[in-house]
């Protein structure tokens, strides 16, 4: 049985005045893999002194960052789905045994005491890993009404007229850090978008977000393959 969205009557009122453009929901900000201290000249100098030091072959750990989005009553946990984890791990495991990467290990989220880079490196060190790839994700959800929304004044068209629009932009980001000295070997980022134009009862934010996330991660995997090839060629 079709259930009407609780905001149907609000949308009816909005339809009378026409579209007001995309209404942007609170974005899910990507969580930085490091804290943001005040940068001074000494810190810059120390950063320049860091040197690549990966052994050959090296042990690689992968950590998928998870976060809480929204605030107050709208706050909810967001996490990587198992199929998305497997997608990236499969690509990285294909690099095993080729002379550079000896093994790929997924770092359990429970093994990391906090979200800062130091805690991640400590967790990786406890597993005897030489480098850690930190993967994060964020999305922005926007909703709007198009010209079909004016037909919603007749109520029945809400069931079939594609007057409601949804857009989800998803960004994935990955950084490869040296566990021992915090040297950054590479960073990659990829963006994808999923859109829907449907009748109100059939707008599915979860479906759109999953689609954008899958496409974004696929693009990230492609970028990482190229950057790992360049890194291994350089070393």
Mean predicted confidence (pLDDT) in 136-153: 68
Tell me the CATH architecture of domain 67-234: 2-Layer Sandwich (3.30)
What is the sign of the dihedral through the CA atoms of 150, 144, 69 and 127? positive
Domain parsing of the chain, residue ranges: 67-234
- Category of 11 on φ-ψ map: left (φ > 0), alpha (ψ -120 to 50) or beta: alpha
Q: Locate 34 and state its tokens.
A: 């490091």
pLDDT (tens digit per residue) in 9-64: 334 434 444 433 334 444 444 555 555 566 566 666 666 666 778 988 999 999 99
Mean predicted confidence (pLDDT) in 127-135: 95
Calpha distance 225→133 (Å, rounded): 13
Calpha distance 8→69 (Å, rounded): 25
Calpha distance 93→135 (Å, rounded): 16
Say which range, 54-58, 79-83, 212-216, 225-229, has the weakest mean pLDDT. Answer: 79-83
pTM: 0.70
């Amino acid at each position: 049985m079709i259930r009407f969205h609780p905001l149907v009557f609000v949308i009816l009122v909005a339809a009378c005045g026409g579209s007001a453009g995309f209404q942007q929901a609170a974005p899910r900000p990507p969580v930085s893999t490091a804290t943001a201290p005040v940068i001074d000249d000494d810190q810059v100098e120390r950063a320049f002194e860091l040197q690549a030091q990966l052994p050959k072959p090296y042990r690689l750990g992968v950590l998928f960052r998870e976060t809480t989005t929204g605030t107050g009553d709208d706050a909810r946990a967001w996490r990587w789905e198992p199929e998305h984890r497997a997608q990236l791990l499969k690509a990285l495991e294909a690099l095993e045994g080729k002379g550079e990467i000896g093994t790929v290990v997924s770092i359990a989220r429970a093994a990391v005491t906090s979200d800062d880079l130091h805690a991640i490196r400590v967790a990786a060190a406890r597993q005897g890993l030489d480098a850690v790839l930190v993967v994060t994700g964020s999305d922005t959800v926007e909703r709007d009404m198009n010209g079909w929304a004016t037909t919603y004044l007749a109520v029945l068209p809400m069931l079939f007229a594609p007057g409601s629009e949804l857009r989800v932009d998803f960004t994935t980001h990955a950084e490869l850090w040296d566990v021992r000295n915090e040297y950054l070997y590479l960073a990659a980022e990829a963006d994808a978008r999923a859109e829907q134009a449907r009748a109100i009862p059939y707008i599915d934010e979860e479906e759109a977000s999953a689609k954008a996330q899958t496409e974004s991660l696929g693009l990230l995997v492609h970028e990482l393959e190229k950057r790992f090839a360049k890194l291994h060629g350089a070393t």
